[in-house]
Amino acid sequence: MQPTPNPPIDDRPRRGVLFGLLAFVVGLAGCVAFDYTGADRPIAEASVEPMSPRPRVALVLGSGGPRGYAHLGVLKVLEEAGIPVDLVVGSSVGSLIGAFWADGLDAERLDARSMQGGPLTLFDPTPFADRGWIRGQRLQDYVNDGLEGRAFEQLPRRLVVVATRRGDKSPVFFRSGNVGVAVRASSAMPGIVSPVGIGGTEYEDADESLPVAVRAARQAGARFVIAVDVSARAGSAPPDASAAQRARDTRRRARIDPEVADADVLIHPGLRYDAGPWRDYFEHAREAGEASGREALPLLVARLRQAGLLESDTASGSVAPPVRMGAER
């Protein structure tokens, strides 16, 4: 009598458990808090030391997410008028645009670059992100790749990136080292983008402390400050805006108003209240920024001339090239 062969063992449940454990381990790795400890890590400063040579004209670009496309329209106007900006200060989306502009990318090329790809060009959503659903590594790489690895000290225009120290919500300023890491920290919106650790300290979105950081330009010694505020104007919330939205707007205005009061010229585009990552909103914001820039230009030129910072024949439509001053920081 032949022995009955044993039935084949179904190892599918075991393989399912193994794959599940592997996914769990990978997920845990994704949840680990990010802490950049490289030798080129940007150093957070509580204030900006006076720069030498002293900046003549500073441009402060505010936070605002999709509203930041308005900055591109403003930059176009400043370039056409030949406004000689030699210091850029950026918060959140303002730091992203400011970093590329400080590296010499003009408004036209910035605009073309911004329309390439979709949100996944900058963002890396994952259910395993640490305290959010976007890690931020893709944004960091996008900036550093676009700058070809150049650090703050190597940019043609001087740059200050603003972020918020997560522990006490105080503003900090980066102006040396890895630009991509600094922009990632400046753009780390709480609950959405994971906090960014740098040398053991965590940072988050500049919007939480200084959405429009005029004080950074003043501390650096800038003789003239142009501030661009792309936030919602006071009273612009629609009737169906939630109480949480209105409270958020009130808190943001309380942070912005004292800062822009110290600017020599404020450009505040009138943008639609409901902003989003849609191409039609990007185009609307860019056009609104350009319109506001052109409206402010006569006053800006007059005040620059009054301050002795613009020759009478300078604002004629030529673009002022950036001056490389990294070694003199």
Kindly list the catalytic residues: 92, 205
DSSP, residue by residue, 192-237? TB--EEETTEEEE-GGGT-SS-HHHHHHHT-SEEEEE--SPPTT--
3-class DSSP state for residue 282? helix
CA atoms within 13 A on the CB side of 313: 0
DSSP, residue by residue, 84-123? ---EEEEETHHHHHHHHHHTT--HHHHHHHHTSS-GGGT-
Angstrom distance (rounded) from CA 22 to CA 19: 5
> Exposure pattern of 197-229 as b/e (b: 16+ CB <10 Å)?
bbeeebbbbbbbbbbbbbbbbbbbbbbbbbbbb
- Residue whose pair of structure tokens reads 């402010």 in the numeric block: 296
Question: Which of 94, 99, 85 has the alpha carbon at shortest distance from 42?
Answer: 99
- Residue whose pair of structure tokens reads 């393989």 in the numeric block: 15
